[in-house]
Amino acid sequence: MTVLSNKPGVELDDQVPGAPALPAPQPVAEPRSVGASVRAYVALTKPRVIELLLITTIPVMFLAAGGTPPLGTVLLTFAFGALSAGAANAINCYIDRDIDAKMRRTRRRPLARAQVTPARALVFGITLAAASTAGFALTVNLPSAAMSLFAILFYIFVYSLLLKRRTSQNVVWGGIAGCMPVLIGWSAVTGRLDWAPFVLFGVVFLWTPPHTWTLAMRYREDYAIAKVPMLPVVASERRVIVESLAYSYATVACSLVLWPVAGMGPLYGAVAVVLGLVFLAEGHRLLRAVRAGVTGVHLRPMRFFHLSNVYLALLFTAVAVDPLLH
């Protein structure tokens, strides 16, 4: 499962790292058929990134409700949350259209291939943002609408325009946007915020850097060509792994804080401990490998990346199931 968020871009491609660069696909004319146009606009929203909504928003709603939340609230929150994330991603595609055309893993995006004009992509993103904000305000509640709008604006102005091309800490602070679904899901059910959603916000916030950096290790050449200073571009592999492991420890510690704060039962505690040990073991495998002189693709950083997806998915599944057993 691929996770990701209106958080810093995380998408995969089948290009093998270290292989000769593939020739850039030539721009094609804007699609004329309805089906091709729909596919292009859907691709602007980065559907695989929106999966984070399912993984974090809905389980938090179960926790907020202390059981099963109202189905209508769940469906509306997910629908308008998907529009919100899609809006941020579409506008991000507009902003990053120049570097997307240079990178192997992004050069197939609609703007890079001229399947959608920049102006139409921007209007599409703004329209989705307005629709999601209005939808939350009219059918869910105002706090959720405000946080959804904040996530969009933060992703666009803070991450995409301010941080991404200027600092190796881009995904650390830019990842705040990807943590917002946790708060939105809680407020959609309760109309307010509490300590528990902020703890889960912290889990996603601390999880994001190691998750993204290990993927960026694979696509280091892409980011270097595009002059995006991801940590693996500007730092040694050893430093990237050490910092990733530090964030992994913080992630696991934060997940355990939820146990007493939210009054979670033994199921959540057991799942959090077991998942945490597996997660950290994989991080230590990377550290042992780099200390032994292993470099590049032989480090197999994608093992950690995929495991981090599983870690977050199963942890939040436990967040949803645990209240049902009380």
Residue showing tokens 């099963």: 68
Q: Phi then psi for 157, rounded to 5 degrees?
A: -85, -40
Query: Is the per-residue pLDDT at 237 higher than 90?
Result: yes
Query: Is the per-residue pLDDT at 19 higher than 80?
Result: no
Query: Is the per-residue pLDDT at 212 higher than 90?
Result: yes
Give the alpha-carbon dihedral of 255, 263, 141, 254, to 10 degrees: -10
Architecture label for domain 39-325? Orthogonal Bundle (1.10)
Mean pLDDT for the stretch of residues 151-175 = 96
| Distance, CA of 144 to chain centre | 19
Output the pTM of the full model: 0.89
Least confident interval from 52-56, 113-117, 147-151, 200-204:
52-56
Query: Is the per-residue pLDDT at 20 higher than 60?
Result: no
Q: At what angle do helices 71-95 and 142-153 cross, to 10 degrees?
A: 20
Mean pLDDT for the stretch of residues 18-25 = 44
pLDDT score for 16: 38
pLDDT score for 15: 41
Helices in 66-106 by DSSP H: which ranges? 71-95, 97-100
- The radius of gyration computed from the CA coordinates of the chain, to the nearest angstrom, equals 20
201, 182 Cβ separation under 8 angstroms: yes
Q: How confident is the model at residue 23 (pLDDT cuts 50, 70, 90)?
A: very low
pLDDT score for 51: 79
Q: How confident is the model at residue 315 (pLDDT cuts 50, 70, 90)?
A: very high
Token pair belonging to 110 = 């609609």
155, 87 Cβ separation under 8 angstroms: no
Query: Is the per-residue pLDDT at 130 higher than 80?
Result: yes
